[in-house]
Amino acid sequence: MDHAGSETEVYTPDTLLLGGLVSTASGILASGENRTRGTVVGRVTATGELKMAAAAAGDGSEVPIGILGFDVDATSGAATCAYYTGGDFDQAALTWGAGYTDLQKAAAFDKTPITLKTAY
């Protein structure tokens, strides 16, 4: 039997952020980047802009400093973005650039308020 005005929706929980003391910052995502929420970002030393952290980058962005909080499209030019600088995150929900080993990923946020965990 159908009921007037009723709908059924499926709830899919977001597992990126698991809790902890959450902190955020704003920055500029470098031109040419088109990244999704959960992307691990590093800061380019020469410009201060953010881009997806890649192990062999050599421009400073190889050092992860945060995790994008929202999808950001900077393909047409640098764009403002918000990123997490603290909190507990599901390691399986992160998007990493090329070249990081599992051990490097596990240690990437040592000495920062970001903790990587396994969602249960």
Domain boundaries defined on the chain = 15-115
What does the angle CA 93 – CA 97 – CA 99 come to, to the nearest 5 degrees?
A: 115
Question: Which tokens is 112 given?
Answer: 């920062």
Tokens of 94: 């992160």
CATH of domain 15-115: 2.40.300.10
pTM of the prediction? Answer: 0.88
Q: What is the pLDDT of residue 25?
A: 98
Structure letter (DSSP) for residue 92: G
The secondary structure of residue 30, as a DSSP letter, is: P
> Over its length of 120 residues, how does the chain's per-residue pLDDT go in tens digits?
556 677 888 877 778 999 899 999 999 999 999 999 999 999 999 999 999 999 999 999 999 999 999 999 999 999 999 999 999 999 999 999 999 999 999 999 999 999 999 987
